Amino acid sequence: MYDRLVGADAIERGAAERDGDRFTQAVLARHPDGDRTYEFALARQTAGKYAGCWLTTSVDLLYDGESPAFRRTPTVTFGDTSVTCEVGDQLRAVLLAAEGHSPHNDVTQVANCGGNGLCGTCAVSCDGDVDEMGDRERRRLSLPPHEAASGLRLACQTHVQGDVTVGKHDGYWGQHVDGAVDAADRVDADEVVASDRPDQIVVTAAEYAGEYDYAADGPSGSATAGGDGR
């Protein structure tokens, strides 16, 4: 029961509560195998050689896993704005909830896949604690105009695990571009000619239906596996 307390990476202590000659305090042990919350009880001794001293009388396990007594509220920083959220919140939803801080550029603020990991327009840079990239996200970021080496993440497929700083690049899809683009020089999406757009990206019927086997396909697999492209 106490292995995660002894081998914890970090310890967090809650507020101590006193009831007469007894103190209790919740202690959270953060361990690679998961969090555990313990309750430490201390009592003031009234007799013997330790009379008048406060000694630990018990250590009880309260929670194995996430503890409501130690809810973490990570901070997401985007530009000059910082907002708090819950661990596990979708990054795209967090950014959209912060008024005026969309993870999409230009017309893609309204012309996007709605957070299904298909269009790739919510690509952002993440510096901080987020979850690992999944197969759906990995496949989309391996298709043009993105590339696997860009280091970007899809906000709709990324979940916040701790404090994170988010950046948005100037490309139409949020990708890196050569040189800074002034707002006055930004080209509206309706004015972009076909030759300036990346190659057509095939999205399969299975992807629309949520039945695409991303793990079997992998980044180097066929773009049309799992159904007819649309």
Instruction: Give the span between the Cα atoms of 52 and 45, in whole angstroms.
Output: 5
163 and 98 assigned to the same domain: yes
Cα distance between residue 63 and residue 39, in whole Å? 9
Residue 63 in tokens:
């929670």
Asked which of 70, 86, 112 is the last residue of a domain, the reply is 70
191-200 pLDDT tens trace: 544 444 545 4
Last residue of a domain, one of 18, 47, 70: 70
Residue type, 76: V
Give the domain CATH number at 87: 3.10.20.30
Of residues 152 and 71, the one with the higher pLDDT is 152
Task: From 33, 22, 25, 18, select the one nearest 59 (Cα to Cα).
Answer: 25
Residues 184 and 99 in one domain: yes
User: What's the rounded Cα separation, in Å, for the pair 27 and 12?
Assistant: 6
Same structural domain, 152 and 110: yes
Same domain, 96 and 138: yes
Q: Cα-flanking dihedrals φ and ψ of residue 157, to 5°?
A: -110, 5
Parent domain of 22: 3-70
Q: Are residues 92 and 169 in the same domain?
A: yes
Same domain, 58 and 11: yes
Residues 153 and 99 in one domain: yes
3-state secondary structure labels for all residues of the chain: CCHHHHCCCEEEEEEEEEECCEEEEEEEEECCCCCEEEEEEEEECCCCCCCCCEEEEEEEEEEECCCHHHCCCCEEEECCEEEECCCCCEHHHHHHHCCCCCCCCHHHHCCCCCCCCCCCCCEEEEEEEECCCCHHHHHHCCCCCCCHHHCCEEHHHCEEEEEEEEECCCCCCCCCCCCCCCHHHCCCHHHCCHHHCCCCCCCEHHHHCCCCCHHHHCCCCCCCCCCCEC
86-99 tens-digit pLDDT: 889 999 999 998 87
Domain boundary among 70, 97, 123: 70
Q: Same domain for 109 and 33?
A: no
Which CATH number covers residue 61? Answer: 3.10.450
142: which 2 tokens? 């391996």
Residues 90 and 115 sit within 8 Å (Cβ to Cβ): yes
Res 1 pLDDT > 50: yes
Rounded Cα gap, residues 57 and 183, in angstroms: 66
pLDDT band at 225 (very low <50, low <70, confident <90, very high): very low
28 with 114, same domain? Answer: no
Pair 135, 156 in one domain: yes
How many domains would you assign to the chain?
3
Q: What percent of the chain has pLDDT over 70?
A: 75
Tens of pLDDT, residue by residue over 112-122, are 888 899 998 99
Tell me: do 82 and 188 sit in the same domain.
yes
For the chain, the straight-line distance linking the first and the last C-alpha, in angstroms and rounded, comes to: 54
CA 32 to mean position of chain CA atoms: 18
Residues 208, 109 share a domain: no
Q: What is the pLDDT of residue 160?
A: 95
